[in-house]
Amino acid sequence: AQVDKAGYKHFMAKEIAEQPAVITQTLQAYLDGDRIRLPEPGIDFASLDRLTLVACGTAHYACLTAKYWFEQLAALPVDIDVASEFRYREPPIPARTAAIFVSQSGETADTLAALRYAQGKAEMIGAVVNVAESTIARESDIVLPIHAGAEIGVASTKAFTCQLTVLLLLALKAAQDRGHLSDSDMAEKLGLVRSLPGILNQALAIEEPASDISRRLSEARDILFLGRGIMYPLALEGALKLKEISYIHAEAYASGELKHGPIALIDEHVPVIVMAPRDNLFDKTISNMQEVMARGGRILLISDQAGIEQAGSGVWSALPMPTVDPLLTPILYALPAQLLAYHTAVHKGTDVDQPRNLAKSVTVE
């Protein structure tokens, strides 16, 4: 079917705005009352000792986020790698390991080669894909579609949040299979997950302030993203989105690593975007933020209203997010990352949907 921009200026804008609706579809496909229902043949996480998650680009950051969920919710150790490293490293794959490959297109050459390496070694091969008829899907034991609908913008947006949604449901299923989540706790977590579309809708209201801030970001030459814990992969994704479409040099660091190098870069010319929901690491992130401010750095703080107030004056700018349970923050905080990249690119006048040198799907090595 032909996909059009539905009145939006770019496919990317349309795909950002569609996220509440497509995540609703994803949830419908996987939720059955208070149960998570996987496509046949299912995955019995109780029979596994490890997971290996492999992908490229944005899908790799979805895997990195999911590692925190599988380890924290299900006590399931996760190995993770980019496909282009995994395929040549020849990593040993221990018994009772499932390997899951995440790919929007299902055709990325490096990811496919990594999958073929794992065939016959891993207990089970899973594919988290948007294109359910893709090569990666066909060569897997279980296909876990993300139901994002066609994604046209080269910079991935809705596929990322749908990948995260499927991976979060897998982690919850793993927690239940492995005896770390009672039925009533599962019901409570799924209640939270079901609130996601409404929360994302609410969060889209930051579009205007995000555009205003982006005007100032568009003048920067370098931008740093900081986050701790599960916000670290989101910081990486924020930096990737920004460089892909605005061509501004952006880097992300785990906030705790700041003192081991990147702090040398800080001056008043480098905006520092801090992703800091009020979770168990909030106070630590805020103290990292103060280290930046003490060196003249300009902070853009992304947190909820109470977090922004607690951080006090002295920040250059702030973007208020809805207050949510920490389970949902990675999916929610993808939105400001996408909107800042999008509007910065629009202010710079770059080709948002077709950025230079990039392809939607990289089917050659």
Residues forming the active site: 360
Measure the CA dihedral 69/132/241/331, to 10°: -30
Cβ 92 vs Cβ 52: under 8 Å:
no
Q: Is 274 in the site for ligand G6P (CB under 6 A)?
A: no
In the window 232-271, what residues touch ligand G6P (CB under 6 A)? none
Among the listed residues 52, 97, 103, 338, the single contact to ligand G6P using CB under 6 A:
103
Cβ 93 vs Cβ 122: under 8 Å:
yes
CB of 226 to ligand G6P, least distance (A): 22
Alpha carbon distance 179, 192 (integer Å): 20
Among the listed residues 156, 161, 288, 303, the single contact to ligand G6P using CB under 6 A:
156
Cβ 278 vs Cβ 302: under 8 Å:
no
Nearest residue to ligand G6P, by Cβ distance, number only: 57
Binding segment (CB under 6 A) for ligand G6P, from list 57-65, 288-296, 314-322, 326-334: 57-65
Q: Is 338 in the site for ligand G6P (CB under 6 A)?
A: no
Q: Is 354 in the site for ligand G6P (CB under 6 A)?
A: no
Kindly tell me which of 243 and 284 has the beta carbon lying closer to ligand G6P.
243
CB of 354 to ligand G6P, least distance (A): 11
Q: Is 111 in the site for ligand G6P (CB under 6 A)?
A: yes
Binding segment (CB under 6 A) for ligand G6P, from list 68-76, 152-160, 186-194, 274-282: 152-160
Q: Is 358 in the site for ligand G6P (CB under 6 A)?
A: yes
Among the listed residues 20, 57, 238, 297, the single contact to ligand G6P using CB under 6 A:
57
Burial 147-177 (b: 16+ CB within 10 A, else e): bbbebbbbbbbbbbbbbbbbbbbbbbbbbbb
**Rg from Cα positions in the chain:** 20
Nearest to residue 109, comparing CAs of 338, 347, 362? 362
Interface positions with ligand G6P (CB under 6 A): 56-59, 103-105, 108, 111, 154-156, 358, 360-362
